[in-house]
Structure 1
Amino acid sequence: MKFIKKLLKWLIGIIGVLVIASYIFDYDYILKGIRVVYFTGHTTAYIDDYPNFENDTIKKGAHTDVWPLHKNYNSVNATNGLKAINEEYGTVAYLIIKNDSIFYEQYAEDYSKDSKTNSFSMAKSITTSLLGKAIMDGYIKSLDQPVSDFYPQFKNSKTTVGDLSSMSSGLDWVESYTSPFSITARANYDDDLAETILNQKVIKTPGKDFEYLSGSTQLLGMVIKKATGKQLADYLSESLWQPLGAQSDALWQLDDDENKLAKAFCCISSNARDFGRFGKLYKDHGKWNGKQILDSTFVATATKSRFSGQPYGYGFWVSDYNNKHTFAMIGILGQYVITIPEDNVIIIRLGHHRSPEKVNFFPSDFYVYIDEAYKMMGE
């Protein structure tokens, strides 16, 4: 018994020293990560994490544009291929929108059309949408405006807001999702995200090559916030969420209640139907109900590859799967809003996991969700 008591004292002492050291050496964000992830019974990021973070509200408007139901709404069953992949990767929402009407809609047990789940990196597409709106509103001059106009910390670089959006910033960010000491982990759990971002340096020539870095989008969000003088959630609400007739309030995770900086690179919690509105907006060249919400030239630029042979435009992933121009919002656990303008089709999938295998830059399940949708539509 004495041995056990001594062992417990030693363990408590070691834990105490580690906690104190984490604060001294500025690694206390790891403690938040442990609390948010492991103490909730998880081992990695998960789609229902928003109650464990501070959030800002993206307010819906007084009017909701209800998605019409297709004349053949839910008249077909899920294919065996769709059933299998939904079960394998834990799909919680799967929608096919054809000709601006919901053709097929299915939710997993305990989820519904009103359920909020984390967008993860689909938020990058939404942040770029705010960039387009800020340019349209005159807060930002163009995609070519230097970041240094807003943050003098980058006065010795030529990085532009467009470089941030197109993932060609040249920042010394390392996109790692496994190490708790990575800057990506710090960004997700840190209580002073601006300090983390502004300590970044530009170490490569910007605007030359595609390199997917979450820090690029976070800095872009900070630029938009500074240019507009508004919290990102407020600007999103007034400029897009309400004009698009979103059905529900959404939440945007913050670094903490004191700094209130939105995680522009991730973490908007909303439902499948409201996420799908961005697919329709971009499919329709920035128009919604006949009103030009985003500049059509910006929309066209955002949804085409900036660099030859690369799968990314400005905030959107780009593919020519089946020889059809396709663009998508993508989150790390298989959050997809896939838009195929040629066929007036939008496919939305939200879930717990995605395939670890990639084919031509995209997770292999990305293509399955497209293929099975076309089988169900009989096309």
Structure 2
Amino acid sequence: MKKKTTKLLLSFLIILLICSVLLVLVSSLIFSPQYVFRTIVNGNSDVMDYKVFPERIIQKSSQPYHYKYNLDASLKVMPIDYTYKGKGRTKPLNTILEETNTTSFIIVYNDKVVLEEYNNGYGQETVNTSFSMAKSIDSLLIGMAIEDGYIKSVKQSIADYIIEFKGTNMERITIEDLLLMRSNISYEEGNIWFGDDAKTYYMPDLRNLALTHKNLTSKYQGKFHYNNYHPLLLGIILERSTGKHVSEYFEKEFWNKIGAESDASWSLDSRESGFEKMESGINFKAIDFIKIGSMLING
């Protein structure tokens, strides 16, 4: 009886292995071997992903700006009130930073650094990756492109810049729809490499992915729906309107002007495609990134 059970279990494992191999092979033919390899090897996104993808370097400012320091040690243990699972709680700030695996935490007040904390092995020279904070940069770049005259208005159809969408239902989508994530472009999360989360993160040609994904749905009804195709399309619009790589435009019109002290980088989908990962991939040192906040506060 025991031998029979062992044989059945072994047969099941062999069948499972064969099916898994076939699934990988078929998926590689449907998508690309590089894409499937990335999803299997790298899995979920990680703070070290800037080392996984190729990158385009963004040069530091020709006139770096350095904050003055007026550190206040009492802020480290400042009690923070918050609600978790319906219960009110209070903990010192440094405990919260450790428990939430925060890597870098800086407070600037009146253009002076009053608190600068690094945890979990991070320090002043450590590179951080933006993840979805990149979407805020995308939005700022669209605004700058309007100020520079490359784009007329957020009310324009995206087909004004992406001519592949002329005469299709995609023509009804505006730049504003992309910025507010309210278009009817379908987006399905999960489902390993068959889902849009993985595709918009790991595909080696994100530009082509965004241009060929024309699946629309009526289920969003003009409401916000998280969708990584939106920032990818914004990247294509920035490329075509400015005539520059997005990171090149970012460096000239943004990174240099805010007085960045160090080089940054923007992760690319692949060396062959050379398209910026608009949904997630700006990599920087924390002290420079906070200068974006200073710029916005000071108008």
Counterpart in 2 of 1:192?
Answer: 205
One-letter amino acid of the counterpart of residue 66, structure 1: H
Residue equivalent to 2:55? 55
How many residues align? The count is 274
Q: What does the per-residue CA deviation read over 1:201-260, in whole Å, with 9 as the maximum and x for residues that have no partner?
A: 344499943222221111111110111111111110001001101111112111110010
Report if aligned partners of 1:159, 1:207 keep a CA contact under 8 Å in 2: no
Q: Which residue among 32, 36, 42 is the counterpart of 2:38?
A: 32
> Once structures 1 and 2 are overlaid, which stretch shifts more, 143-152 or 119-128?
143-152
Shift of the 205–281 alpha-carbon distance from structure 1 to 2, 3 Å rule, reads farther
Query: Which residues of structure 2 form unaligned runs of 5+?
Result: 1-6, 79-90
> Contact between 1:166 and 1:210, CA under 8 Å: does it hold in 2?
yes
How far the C-alpha of 1:91 sits from its partner, in A, is 1.0
Equivalent residue letter for 1:262: E
1:122–1:18 CA distance, 2 compared to 1 (3 A): same
- 1:111-122 matches, within 5 Å, as 111-122=122-133
Amino acid at match of 1:147: I
Matched residue type, 1:197: A
Specify the code of the residue in structure 2 equivalent to 1:104: L
Given that 1:247 and 1:274 are in contact with CA atoms closer than 8 Å, whether structure 2 keeps it comes out as: yes
Q: For residues 20-75 of structure 1, what are the alpha-carbon distances to aligned partners after superposition, in whole Å with 9 as ceiling and x for unaligned? A: 322212164232122234xxxxxx321111111111112212221012212x4445
Pair member with larger Rg: 2
Q: Look up the equivalent residue of 1:58 and give its one-letter code.
A: I
What TM-score do you get using the length of structure 2 for normalisation?
A: 0.82
The one of 247, 251, 254 equivalent to 1:237 is 251
- CA distance in 1: counterparts of 2:139 and 2:244, whole angstroms: 16
Higher RCO structure (Cα 8 Å, ≥6 apart): 2
CA change 1:281–1:15 in 2 (3 A) is same
Q: How does 1:209-228 map to 2 (within 5 A)?
A: 209-228=223-242
Segments of structure 1 that go 5 or more residues without pairing to the other structure are 38-43, 286-379
1:147 Cα deviation (Å)?
A: 0.4
Distance across 1 between alignment mates of 2:17 and 2:287 = 48
Select 2:156's aligned residue among 142, 145, 148: 145
Partner residue, 2:81: none
Of 264, 270, 282, 2:278 maps to 264
RMSD: 2.7
Moved more, 21-30 or 8-17: 8-17
Contact 1:59 1:234 in 2 (8 A): no
In the TM superposition, 1:29-178 aligns within 5 A as 29-37=35-43, 44-70=44-70, 72-74=71-73, 76-79=75-78, 80-155=91-166, 156=168, 157-174=171-188, 176=189
| Partner-residue secondary structure (3-state), 1:144 | coil
Give 1:153's aligned amino acid.
E
Shift of 1:7: 11
2:4 alignment counterpart? none
Identical counterparts, % of pairs: 30
What secondary structure sits across from 2:194 in the alignment?
coil
2:98–2:120: 8 Å Cα contact kept in structure 1? Answer: no
Contact 1:118 1:270 in 2 (8 A): yes
What's 1:20 paired with?
25
Contact 1:168–1:208, Cα closer than 8 Å, also in 2? yes
Distance 1:163 1:231 in 2: 23
CA distance in structure 2 between the partners assigned to 1:237 and 1:210 by the alignment:
30
2:265 to 230, 239, 251: 251
The structure whose residues are more often helix, as a share, is 2
CA contact (8 A) 1:61 1:242 kept: yes
Alignment of 1:353-372 (within 5 A): none
The Cα shift of 1:101 comes to 1.1
Deviations 1:321-346 (A, max 9, x none): xxxxxxxxxxxxxxxxxxxxxxxxxx
Does the 8 Å contact 1:74/1:105 carry over to 2? no
TM, length-normalised to structure 1: 0.66
C-alpha distance in 2, partners of 1:20/1:281? Answer: 49
Q: Which moved more, 1:102-111 or 1:20-29?
A: 20-29
Take 1:205 and 1:152, find their aligned partners in 2: how far apart are those partners? 26
Which residue in the other structure is 1:309 paired with?
none
